[in-house]
């Protein structure tokens, strides 16, 4: 739990020497509690206090970083049960599982590695791959797993998860992944000693697995006693409801500072069949998973999952927005049409992508509607004739075009009269309601 200013004050030297730049130790303590200064600014804190303060400042859910020589993925560090209470910070890593014995492993990984999809101006990809020791590799043949790791490393730079129970095989494969932070799956009560050693040796992160939260908490403590700090929990659970219960319980306990469960979790979405994979993954994304492992590389499933993840992890206080201004689409000329929209990212990209895809040139005037969609902004009084006129004048759109004609979104057709009054030398046209219909409208109605 975070300490109050007074609690911190009690741990400071209380000499008011001012070297930290504050008049009193109490003033400094208050700033520390508000996380506005670093403890390092006071040269006189005792080692004991430092340790206590560091522990209290540690996030309730440990931040886990998987790293390769290419990219990294961070999960954990969450502080709330519901996103409206603050926000969810670190999006769950989405990993694709492949089998070590699969002769097509390199091809499959290469294809999935290249996958990239754009959502409102952001490029999304998978975060990494989980290589499962199966066939010979699972019965102890280290070569099969190592060969798979080598093959995968040649086609992707993303972080990896290694799945297997044979410590020796994991050990030799991890030796191939130098300077990386890999996730090992999974230590249970039967093998945790040897896997903890391997994790320690390679600075790997260790998944811990047990049938109940009680056993899981025992196990993480034992593993921690062996010197492994970075762990991830496999919470078990045989269906959606059980996993929801365990995930909720683990999150609650962690937020109450119950350290043995203060780690992110991992969830396998295809555990009850590929037909349930998308729904399982969706629940895991919404309900606190740290890593979500899928078995199917299907863009039609991965794209909606990535969008869902973005939605759930968007800060509720700040809608995603774009800079107001005049955007040039497909190199517009003076005679090209002027389209008006708002600066909510989803709105802007819905329109911009549509026009761009059609190949038709246009000037897209993005008004400052405080990051709201067309109708929301209209209803809130943030997208009215006055604001539209202000944008047209403020961005000096008249100087760019030969034909003074603007197109309003169809949803705000009611504004056209007022806009005509505000912009008396402009022709005002009402476009279609949905952006999908814009290209056809531009071709037919704007000539």
Q: Which is nearer to ligand SF4, 12 or 423 (CB)?
A: 12
Q: How far is the CB of 229 from ligand B12 (least distance, A)?
A: 40
Q: Which is nearer to ligand B12, 117 or 380 (CB)?
A: 380
Cβ atoms of 405 and 439 closer than 8 Å: no
Among 197, 310, 432, 446, binds ligand B12 (CB under 6 A): 432
Q: Is 407 helix (H, G, I), strand (E, B) or coil?
A: strand
Cβ atoms of 149 and 101 closer than 8 Å: no
| Angstrom distance (rounded) from CA 261 to CA 251 | 8
Binding residues (CB under 6 A) for ligand SF4: these are 12-13, 15-20, 22, 25, 28, 42, 44
Cβ atoms of 339 and 353 closer than 8 Å: no
Comparing C-alpha atoms, which of 260, 395, 256 is closest to residue 328? Answer: 395
Q: Is 225 helix (H, G, I), strand (E, B) or coil?
A: helix
Window of 22-30, 225-233, 384-392, 427-435 that interacts with ligand B12 by CB under 6 A: 427-435
- Binding status of residue 214 toward another protein by CB under 8 A: yes
Q: Which residues contact 347 (CB under 8 A, 6 or more apart)?
A: 341, 373, 374
- Binding status of residue 14 toward another protein by CB under 8 A: no
Q: How far is the CB of 230 from another protein (least distance, A)?
A: 21
179: number of Cβ within 10 Å? 8
Binding mask 357-376 for another protein (x = CB under 8 A): x---------------x---
Q: How far is the CB of 131 from ligand B12 (least distance, A)?
A: 40
Q: How far is the CB of 307 from ligand B12 (least distance, A)?
A: 13
The residue count for binding another protein (CB under 8 A) is 58
The residue count for binding ligand B12 (CB under 6 A) is 27
Burial group, residue 116, by CB count within 10 angstroms (0-12, 13-18, 19+): exposed
Q: Give the CA distances from residue 281 to residues 16, 63, 123, 128, 134, in Å, rounded to whole numbers and listed in that order.
A: 54, 21, 20, 16, 23
Instruction: Give residue number: closest CB to ligand B12.
Output: 431
339 binds, among ligand B12, ligand SF4, another protein, none (CB under 5 to 8 A by kind): ligand B12
Q: How far is the CB of 436 from ligand B12 (least distance, A)?
A: 6
- Binding status of residue 436 toward another protein by CB under 8 A: yes
15 binds, among another protein, ligand B12, ligand SF4, none (CB under 5 to 8 A by kind): ligand SF4
Cα–Cα–Cα angle for 407, 412, 416, rounded to 5 degrees: 60
Cβ atoms of 154 and 123 closer than 8 Å: no
Q: How far is the CB of 431 from another protein (least distance, A)?
A: 16
Q: Which is nearer to ligand B12, 45 or 322 (CB)?
A: 322
Among 52, 303, 326, 395, binds another protein (CB under 8 A): 303
What one-character DSSP code corresponds to residue 39?
G
**Pair of tokens at residue 26:** 């109490």
| Angstrom distance (rounded) from CA 335 to CA 119 | 30
Residues that bind another protein (CB under 8 A): 82-84, 115-119, 213-214, 217-218, 221, 239-241, 244-245, 248-249, 252-253, 256, 258, 260-261, 275-276, 278-279, 282-283, 286-287, 298-305, 307-308, 310-312, 314, 316, 346, 350, 354, 357, 373, 379, 434-436
């Amino acid at each position: 739990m975070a300490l109050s200013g007074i609690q911190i004050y009690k741990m400071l030297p209380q000499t008011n020497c001012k070297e930290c730049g504050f008049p009193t130790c109490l003033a400094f303590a208050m700033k520390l509690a508000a996380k506005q200064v670093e403890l390092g600014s006071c040269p006189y804190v005792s080692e004991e206090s430092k340790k206590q303060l560091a522990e209290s400042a540690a996030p309730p859910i440990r931040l886990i970083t998987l790293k390769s020589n290419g990219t990294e993925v961070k999960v954990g560090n969450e502080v709330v049960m519901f996103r409206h209470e603050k926000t969810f910070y670190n999006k769950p890593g989405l990993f694709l599982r492949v089998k070590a014995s699969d002769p097509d492993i390199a091809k499959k990984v290469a294809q999935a590695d290249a996958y990239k999809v754009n959502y409102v101006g952001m490029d999304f990809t998978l975060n990494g791959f989980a290589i499962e020791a199966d066939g010979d590799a699972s019965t102890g043949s280290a070569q099969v797993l190592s060969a798979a790791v080598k093959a995968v490393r040649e086609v992707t730079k993303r972080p990896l998860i290694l799945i297997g129970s044979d410590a020796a095989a994991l050990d030799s494969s991890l030796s191939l992944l130098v300077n990386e932070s890999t996730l090992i799956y999974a230590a249970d009560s039967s093998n945790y000693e040897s896997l903890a050693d391997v994790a320690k040796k390679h600075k790997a992160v260790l998944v811990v697995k047990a049938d109940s939260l009680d056993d899981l908490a025992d196990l993480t403590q034992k593993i921690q006693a062996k010197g492994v700090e970075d762990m991830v929990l496999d919470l078990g659970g045989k269906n959606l409801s059980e996993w929801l219960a365990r995930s909720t319980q683990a999150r609650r306990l962690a937020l109450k500072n119950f350290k043995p469960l203060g780690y992110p979790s991992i969830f396998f979405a295809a555990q009850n069949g590929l037909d349930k994979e998308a729904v399982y993954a969706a629940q895991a994304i919404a309900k606190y998973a740290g890593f979500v492992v899928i078995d199917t590389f299907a863009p039609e499933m991965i794209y909606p999952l990535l969008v869902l993840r973005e939605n759930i992890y968007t800060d509720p206080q700040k809608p995603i927005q774009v800079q107001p201004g005049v955007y040039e689409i497909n190199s517009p000329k003076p005679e090209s049409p002027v389209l008006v929209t708002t600066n909510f990212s989803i709105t802007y990209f819905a329109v911009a992508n549509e026009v761009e895809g059609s190949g038709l040139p246009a000037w897209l005037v993005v008004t400052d509607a405080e990051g709201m969609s067309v109708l929301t902004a209209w209803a809130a009084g943030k997208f009215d004739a006055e604001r539209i006129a202000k944008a047209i004048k403020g961005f000096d759109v008249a100087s760019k075009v030969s034909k003074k004609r603007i197109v309003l979104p169809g949803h705000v057709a009611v504004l056209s009269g007022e806009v005509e009054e505000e912009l008396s030398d402009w022709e005002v046209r009402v476009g279609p309601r949905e952006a999908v219909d814009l290209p056809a409208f531009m071709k037919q109605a704007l000539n």
